[in-house]
Amino acid sequence: MELVLIPSPGDGHLRPLVEVAKLLVDRDDHLSVTIIIIPPMHGIGNGNSSSYITSLSTTASNHRIRYNVLDKPKSNDEHNILSYIESFKPQIKATVEKRNDPAHRVLAGFVVDMFCMVMIDLAKELNVPSYMFFTSNATFLGLQLRVQYLYDVEKLDVSDLKNSETTTELKVPTFTRPLPLNCFPSVMFSKEWLPIILEDTRRFHETKGILVNTFAQLEPQAIKFFSGRDPPVYTVGPVMNPKTNDAVNDKQSENILLWLDEQPSKSVVFLCFGSMGGFSEEQVKEIAVALERSGHRFLWSLRRAPAKGTMGPPGKFTNLEEILPEGFLDRTAEIGKIIAWAPQTAVLENPAIGGFVSHCGWNSTLESLWFGVPMATWPLYAEQQVNAFQMVEELELAVEIRNSFRGDFMTEETEFMRAEEIERGIRCVMEQDSVVRAKVKEMSEKSHVALMEGGSSHDALLKFIQDVTKNIS
């Protein structure tokens, strides 16, 4: 039997679903997977996607996983990620129909990324069920469903609460405490985008099951909420590739890791803000001041924010001496290293790393927990404020730099952060005997156990496979 997996474009969605495919074929010898890859949008989520996509087709290690990279249509809407994805429907339909013949295995269903819900229509045309892969966590899945319920049933539009003076928080069943509105994703306050999100979320209910990149021990409140509900939720994470050394072969990565090998254990704070995280020159100076004042060794992935009012990937600063405080590079030459791109999992795995200043993207959060590195939260966009609140307030697995602020849906910079706040966060996350560090170590062990035979995520994936098998019986 065969499953068709359709990830959204961009590293943060493609890589986890590829890892799910590997887990699936590893668990069941009768299962094969075709991953249909939508090319990255220009400037959005591009990151290292192109080189990664190329590596998939050249280093395929399992004959039961096939990669089908689509061609970009000559004319498409690159201003809207959902319409961009929808433009690939004809190609995807043709690709699946070509494979769905007697010469190939029986098609058992689609697994579509959370932003590819429109592909459910293709599955229905082919008379097979759809499942969703939710790249974020179960708690945020609950928030999306709650916002949809409030709108459809209780007639409450959360975007009306953006500047409310009376309502400052909302109860969300997947949290044990009310969620402050200033931690809500900016997109949910957008009159333009909220209807699109709601329509997408309604389609979650059309799936036969939802795979979530989390593990039961990490989110007990959310797991309790989803228990016994329909469609069923399968917690199959952490879905990541911890075998980092095989992928680190370029000179830049090698130099970074060699430098880390020379540093004392847990002495280095790592600053990295994801594929879309960049800062203005003014903010960079504040970070530099904070780092120097803290006195800690540091590895800093530094990139420039796109021009105000535009969307796109961060760029490089061409002259660091011009933007950093005078003499900073000389004074920190022995204890600090500034880089552009970072081999993040390899860095977090290194014993020298003692803390991680992060944007709180969910993949980064899972990696920090997997390697037992405590985080200082600096969310920038998307659902990162929610993730930060969850890690700091709900689970006490991170320390906060600041969480109650945001940019305007990735088109403007977030509020300015002063050196004092950043320094305080760095000092907190680097405390060697902190409660947070101990809790992170404990959760790290649980994340490993979850994927072992008999672990919660291992068993959840087997239950998912059993459900898929019923589709062709």
Q: Are 273 and 244 in contact (CB under 8 A)?
A: no
Question: CA nearest 374: which of 436, 303, 324?
Answer: 436
pLDDT average, residue stretch 336-340: 95
How far does Cα 298 stand from its chain's mean position? 24
Instruction: Provide the pLDDT for residue 305.
Output: 82
Q: Are 204 and 132 in contact (CB under 8 A)?
A: yes
Q: Which of 69-73, 307-311, 368-372 has the highest mean pLDDT?
A: 368-372
Instruction: Provide the pLDDT for residue 419.
Output: 96
Q: How far apart are CA 463 and CA 28, in angstroms?
A: 12
Decide which of 11 and 418 is more confident.
418
Least confident of 34-48, 285-299, 323-337, 338-352: 34-48
Mean pLDDT for all residues in the chain: 90
pLDDT average, residue stretch 270-277: 89
Least confident of 106-115, 334-343, 397-406, 464-473: 397-406
Tally the residues of the chain: 473
Instruction: Provide the pLDDT for residue 411.
Output: 46
Count of CB atoms situated within 10 Å of the CB of 274: 23
Q: Are 314 and 301 in contact (CB under 8 A)?
A: no
Phi and psi angles of residue 156, each rounded to the nearest 5 degrees, phi first: -110, 120
Q: Model confidence over 455-470: pLDDT tens digits? A: 999 999 999 999 999 9
306: pLDDT strictly greater than 80: no
Instruction: Provide the pLDDT for residue 101.
Output: 60
Q: Do domains 2-241+453-470 and 249-432 have the same CATH topology?
A: yes
How far does Cα 68 stand from its chain's mean position? 23
pLDDT average, residue stretch 157-176: 93
Q: Model confidence over 407-430: pLDDT tens digits? A: 554 444 567 899 999 999 999 999
Instruction: Provide the pLDDT for residue 376.
Output: 98
Question: CA nearest 87: which of 69, 71, 106, 110?
Answer: 71
Decide which of 310 and 235 is more confident.
235
Pick among 2.60.40.420, 3.40.50.2300, 3.40.640.10, 3.40.50.2000: CATH of 2-241+453-470: 3.40.50.2000
Instruction: Provide the pLDDT for residue 285.
Output: 97
> Which residue has tokens 């307030």?
393
- Here the contacts of 193-196 (C-beta below 8 Å, separation 24 or greater) are 193/409, 194/147, 194/151, 194/157, 194/158, 194/159, 196/82
Written as six digits, the tokens of 66 are: 């096939």
Instruction: Provide the pLDDT for residue 77.
Output: 55
Instruction: Provide the pLDDT for residue 224.
Output: 97
pLDDT average, residue stretch 83-101: 87
118: pLDDT strictly greater than 50: yes
Domain range list for the chain = 2-241+453-470, 249-432
pLDDT average, residue stretch 325-349: 95
Q: Model confidence over 352-366: pLDDT tens digits? A: 999 999 999 999 999
Instruction: Provide the pLDDT for residue 410.
Output: 46
Instruction: Provide the pLDDT for residue 45.
Output: 47
How much of the chain exceeds pLDDT 70, in percent?
88
119: pLDDT strictly greater than 90: yes
Decide which of 121 and 408 is more confident.
121
Question: CA nearest 196: which of 79, 88, 361, 83?
Answer: 83
In DSSP terms, 169 is beta-bridged to: 180
Instruction: Provide the pLDDT for residue 73.
Output: 72
pLDDT average, residue stretch 272-279: 87
Pick among 3.40.630.30, 3.90.960.10, 3.40.50.2000, 3.30.420.40: CATH of 249-432: 3.40.50.2000
Q: Are 274 and 384 in contact (CB under 8 A)?
A: no
Q: Provide CB contacts within 8 A for 382, sequence distance 6+.
A: 185, 187, 361, 410
